[in-house]
Amino acid sequence: MNTKNLVIGLLMLLTFTTKSFSQITLEHVYPNRHSQFFPVKFSSIGTKYIDDIGGSPQHIINVYNLDHSLYKTISIRVDSFSVYPESFSDHLFNNDDKIEILCRLVSAYNLPPSLSSYQKVRIYNEDTTLIFAEDSVTSYGQGISNTKTIVNTSNGYKMILQEWKTGASPAAIRIYSLSGNLPLMVKPITKDVNIADAFPNPSDAKVNIPYALPTGINKGEIVFFDLNGKEIKRFTVTDAFSTLELNTELGNGTYFYQLQTSQTTSGTKKLIIIK
């Protein structure tokens, strides 16, 4: 190949490469460290970014429009309790257009020796008006991406809460009928079946694992194995959400995990827990 043809070829390659990369554009950067960040498609106000910053004693949640302008800031404070938002909706618990937040509240203050912690559940409107209050219970599944707390049945949506009794078994299950509909967690994965890398990884606390179920399948399981291939835990997931959140379910160690459904099994990913 002569020099002229070589130069033309390099220029064509450079042009093609530039055009290929130019299809991916950095749109916006949220600079602060966030506890959770995900989109929700609400029925009344459309899709919003939920930026669960956290904090104590004020738990801060910023809600952003798709153009990244601030839509609303929600501040929840419950003295002596840590706040864990686990579900966002707008027409699930009542009929107004306000954002609803289902929260698990956890306290380790002023407890009798028999209890290591105390939990209760609260549901707030975006203006922190109390919609629902139940003491000595915890969300069934514990995690914003774990859909065991809110389930869709042939008889409508149900909320499942479990009585909180440290060291006591069995604990009673309470089932509540809901009048509304659950909004969609927007799925970041576009393939028919996939499971993404856990983040943060390694982790010493909360872990998020994005996933996507095959078209037409509304239920699957994320299964964890140890280094020897022995099954450790499995978690049921549904197509209502797109992320599994883990808190203290796994101990120190290295794990492999995959998404299993009745039709197929995803590739395997690695997770390291260091506490």
Could you say which of 161, 184, 207 is where a domain stops? 184
Q: Is the omega angle on the peptide bond into residue 214 within 30 degrees of 0, that is, cis?
A: no
Q: Which of the two residues, 113 and 187, has the higher pLDDT score?
A: 113
- As given in the structure block, the two tokens for residue 62 are 């910023």
- What's residue 91's pLDDT? 87
Q: Is 53 in the same domain as 145?
A: yes
- What's residue 132's pLDDT? 95
Q: How confident is the model at residue 160 (pLDDT cuts 50, 70, 90)?
A: confident
Is 221 a domain residue?
yes
CA distance 103 to 145: 13
- As given in the structure block, the two tokens for residue 38 are 């995900």
User: Is there a contact between 90 and 98 (Cβ–Cβ < 8 Å)?
Assistant: yes
| DSSP letter (8 states) at residue 170 | S
CA distance 1 to 123: 72
Amino acid, single-letter form, for residue 113: P
Three-state secondary-structure class, residue 43:
coil
The whole-number average pLDDT for the span 11-22 is 51
Q: Is 218 in the same domain as 267?
A: yes
State how far Cα 102 lies from the chain centre.
Answer: 13
Is 213 a domain residue?
yes
Q: Is 176 in the same domain as 199?
A: no
Q: Is 142 in the same domain as 71?
A: yes
Q: What is the pTM of this model?
A: 0.57
- As given in the structure block, the two tokens for residue 225 are 């194995």
Q: Is 107 in the same domain as 193?
A: no
Q: Is 58 in the same domain as 170?
A: yes
The whole-number average pLDDT for the span 257-267 is 83
Q: Is 120 in the same domain as 238?
A: no
| DSSP letter (8 states) at residue 203 | B
Is 268 a domain residue?
yes
**How confident is the model over 37-77, as pLDDT tens digits?**
888 888 888 888 888 888 878 899 999 998 989 999 999 99
Q: Is 53 in the same domain as 98?
A: yes
**How confident is the model over 225-248, as pLDDT tens digits?**
888 788 888 899 888 888 888 887
Structural domain boundaries, residue 221: 187-273
Is 10 a domain residue?
no
Is 26 a domain residue?
no
Tell me, what CATH number does 234's domain have?
Answer: 2.60.40.10
Could you say which of 122, 154, 184 is where a domain stops? 184
Q: Is 204 in the same domain as 247?
A: yes
**How confident is the model over 242-258, as pLDDT tens digits?**
888 888 788 888 899 99
Q: Is 228 in the same domain as 173?
A: no
Could you say which of 162, 184, 206 is where a domain stops? 184
CA angle centred on 25, ends 20 and 27, rounded to 5°: 170
Is 21 a domain residue?
no
Is 28 a domain residue?
no
CA distance 106 to 87: 16
Residue with tokens 């389930």: 151
Q: Is 90 in the same domain as 157?
A: yes
Is 262 a domain residue?
yes
Q: Is 233 in the same domain as 202?
A: yes
State how far Cα 155 lies from the chain centre.
Answer: 25
The count of domains in the chain is 2
CA distance 15 to 233: 49
Least confident of 18-22, 118-122, 168-172, 173-177: 18-22
